[in-house]
A and B are shown apart, each in its own frame.
Chain A
Amino acid sequence: MSPPDLLELTIDGQPLKVPPGTTIFEAARRSGIAVPVLCHAQHQTPVAVCRVCTVEVKNARVLAAACIRPVENGMEVWTDSERVRKVRRTLYEVLLADHPTPCARQQATGDCELETQAAQAGLRHSRFAARSHARGADASSPIINVDHTACILCDRCIRACSEVKQNFVIGRTGKGTETSIAFDTDVPMGESSCVGCGECMVSCPTGALTNKRALDVVLHDGAEISPDELLALPMFAGASGTFLALNRGSVIRRRFRAGEVICREGEQGSTAFYVLSGRVQVSIASPLAHVKDSRGSQGAGVTRFFRRLSQLVSSDEDPRDEGGHRFIPIDASVNLPHGNPVAELGQGELFGEMTCLSLYPRSATVRALEDTEVLEMLRNVLYMLRKNRTFKAELDRRYRDRALATHLRSVPMLAGVSEDFIDHLRERVTLVAFEPGQVIFRQDEAADNFYLVRIGFVKVTQSFPGGEIVLKYLARGDYLGEIGLLHDSVRMATCTALDHVELVRIGAEDFGEMMRRFPAIRSVMEAEASSRLAEVRERHERAASLPISNFLAQGLMEAQNLLLLDLERCTRCDLCVRACADAHDGVTRLVRDGLRFDHYLVATSCRSCRDPLCMIGCPVGSIRRRDSLEILIEDWCIGCGLCAKNCPYGNINLHSFTVSVPDEMQPGRKKAVVREKATTCDLSRDLKEPACVYACPHGAAMRVEPLSFFAEKLGLSR
């Protein structure tokens, strides 16, 4: 007789002694007998949903699930009897009926547990028909692919998320054959509170949750760093070691000597950098300059030569900024002051987020000030880190300490906020992140917060009977949500994240306090809000009464300001083009060619679109629109060309021109270098009238607001 604290049983004829409470599965495992399982994982609470671990117990009425059935004294168990094999085979067939064979995991690594076990049971296909419609896939997460069709509802991911990681994101939704796993309130995984630890993915026995490699890229330029070394770093505390192992090569260690350039402004990139040690300098190397509007002739021959010569030695680059933008927003936790666009970052700082997440061009040049060590990472790792509570808290703290004040003051109408109020706000603001396409708030919802855009682009739209209008795009440094709070009303528009967006959220109470303490700011905000509302009302009226015609087919509805050439008057003398070139450093911003509407030629020149696609993605926020219509490209344009690519009408071009910069080889002297800047028609804003219109001798060229101008032809009542 064995001690009373051990139970005796036999499994497949083998006698065993196990402590009370041991399950049949555990008892078998200790004696080297493998019982196949799909839903059971040893570090998780058994739930016995799959029944694949079914075993035969002597004198029992039904087969037992080994993972959950406790051992009893004198039990006789067979794990591989004919009856068990038959039942198990049927279970595999049922599970395989809907399972895509081979699934993503089976294709990638050949170790889908369901398909492997089914093959071992001599089963390749199911005789049962698949459901009539697939359960769908979810690719919203940048690091994990979700294929609901491959899911066998084993519950492992749910227990991994809740029991193991305590995140409580995954659950179940639906009933019967409509059951599936769900994230939060059944939102796409990328929009949920999933922190991207990867625990669900490593727990999944099939291809339902699989690793998504970022860009199929492996970084090569630095030293590989092992998952163990990464986990030893505080920033990776809480990360999944398996996730890091699966994504080897997605984060590397790089060392830079003092003076070495880490990245250059305008370059394409796909990585972010985290400073482990050392200091770096962040700057915009492109000189602050723009193509000047000229009141006079460029001259010819000797005159032009001497004018060009004077530009080489002149230090006056005629800055465009009129004090409205005192900081240049870049892809880091700091803004660069306009007068001297240089800043420093140190240990624990992150830069290149927007480039990494949204593939925008680099916004600044980063150079090591001393021997520096950085981690360079791809999007999947950055995404996981941004969701990591410890890392996010540290990033937030640095933002509050370093950048919040300048960020607030870079919003022109908030420049007058006092230092003590900023200190008051510092710990009260929240940094909130939104995924691409995620709605920040909807039109007609209650207004509860004021937001500043920290990174990313936000689309502001408004619905009206007949469709939706894009009002504007907001970039880093812009703000949203003030109208509803000022007027104590509902949201006037819907704001949606266009890419990976992070906002500074200021609660209604703090916003109200700010308005009370700084009445000047309130006045300016109210004036701005009224102007915006009036503009939107007018837009609604026009849009509602406009008949749809080939006016829309040419995209003219989107235009607020068209350059038209009356073909019945135009003698094709090209004086308009020459005048434009004359006014803009010799390069015209209009082409006397394009589509025709009625007897007008719609020249190829900036249309001041209602939906300015050109503004999306500018890494330094240099393309913007003033209160008037014209699109403006600021001095600090780094010539990346993204706006030119975005413009659907080819109205933005990169223009090379010569500027003088300090000569590094000969201190104290300057040299001429060629830089590229984007240029577009700015309605000759420095002149009273557009140069092209002014110079046309036949009255053929005109700048018009298309809806008003064509009102009669379109049948609008005016």
Chain B
Amino acid sequence: MLLDGAQRRWLIGTALAAVIATAAYVPYATGRLNGPSGGSWPGLTFGVVGFALMLYAGALGARRKVPTWRVGRATTWMKGHLWLGLFSYLLILYHAGFAWGGSLTLALMVLFTIVIASGIYGVILQQFMPRLMMDRLPLETVYEQIDAIVGQLRGEADALVGSVAGPLPVAELTPPDHRRGGGGLAPGEALTRGPRPRSAAVLPPPSEATPLRDAYVREIRTYLSLDVPRNRRLGRRRERDALFAHLRTMLPTPFHEALDELNAICEERRQLALQKRMHHWLHGWLLVHAPLSMALLLLAAVHAIISIRY
């Protein structure tokens, strides 16, 4: 969620609530003989309210499962999750009196701290990663379609190189797939790009395209597969451009258009690989944040039951 002017009211409200809570905590903590205690009325109040806010924050996961239910706009829920979640950390600290207690409470505080830290980390990522993706990935597509698009790029490249350099010595050619997608696609159905327009120049015989064919079979085609090691030189623009510039010197001019097209395909492949990595960065933190949040809520409930009962 972008922290912009739309968050101002929540920020102010949360800050105000924090001030009030602190104003309530300080006299309570300093005035008590043995210091603040979670079992005291003020401590319990902090704990109950903090836990309630934790439950609300955790309910965001459930809210995402029912996106069309009219239970409040998703942005409101997200803002509440952010700000009230943060506030709940303060309340729990006040509840605990800044003491870690036994093993359960220690584990709880460690969990809580990780959850809050991962959440803050995620929010920080969301401040710049979307814009970075927008700038660096002009050919960005739907994440789930990346593998299918890569397959199509390979098919397109096979057809392109085959048309200028003759039959390729590969075990299995990928047929180009020019189905058009868009609008209401069922899961798994690919969005496609159409064939790129090419000029109708008369090409020299395929034998003169041997350097292209060799480079394609040896290196470029492997780069256009699904799993590509990151350190491939084709994934680095400068080195890729150098490779293609070298190929241009070895091939007659009529082949240069095909070379440019192949370079564009490789660039698209690079962007898709980058998109995958950036997508993982943008969402990877959830693999920590979400399950630990569930564990936190569970343990907090256990702690509440044990504390009240015993």
Contacts and interface: CB of A to CB of B under 8 A. Distances in A.
A571 B67 contact: no
B66 A296 contact: yes
Nearest to A296: B69
Contacts of B70: 295, 687-688, 694
A697 B74 CA distance: 4
Given A568-B134, A650-B183, 15 more contacts: A294-B68, A295-B68, A297-B65, A573-B283, A578-B67, A579-B68, A587-B186, A591-B183, A604-B182, A650-B180, A653-B183, A680-B183, A697-B74, A698-B78, A699-B75
Contact of A652 (B69, B78, B143, B183): B183
A395 interface: no
A589 B182 CA distance: 9
The A interface, classified by DSSP as helix, strand, loop or mixed, is loop
B75 A604 contact: no
Interface of A: 294-297, 567-575, 578-579, 582-583, 587-594, 596, 599, 604-605, 649-653, 655, 679-680, 687-688, 691, 694-699
A650 B189 CA distance: 14
B73 interface: yes
B201 interface: no
Contacts of A591: 142, 181-185, 191
Nearest to B6: A699
A688 B70 CA distance: 9
A572 to B, nearest CB: 6
Interface string B120-137: 000000100111011000
Chain B CB count within 10 A is highest, among A567, A680, A688, for: A567
Contacts of A574: 142-143
Contacts of A653: 183-184
A274 B67 CA distance: 54
Contacts of A687: 68, 70
Contacts of B282: 571-572
A587 B187 CA distance: 9
Given A599-B134, A694-B73, A697-B75, A582 B67 contact: yes
B68 A296 contact: yes
Interface size on B, as a range, is 35 or more
A641 to B, nearest CB: 13
A680 B182 CA distance: 12
26 contacts: A295-B70, A296-B68, A297-B69, A567-B133, A568-B130, A570-B130, A575-B67, A583-B68, A589-B184, A590-B183, A591-B182, A591-B185, A592-B142, A593-B142, A594-B182, A649-B182, A653-B184, A655-B184, A679-B184, A688-B70, A691-B68, A694-B67, A694-B70, A695-B67, A697-B77, A698-B126
Given A590-B183, A698-B78, A699-B75, A579 B67 contact: yes
A600 to B, nearest CB: 10
Contacts of B60: 697
Interface string B143-184: 101000000000000000000000000000000000011111
B67 A691 contact: yes
A688 B73 CA distance: 12
Contacts of B74: 575, 694-697
Contacts of B191: 591, 593
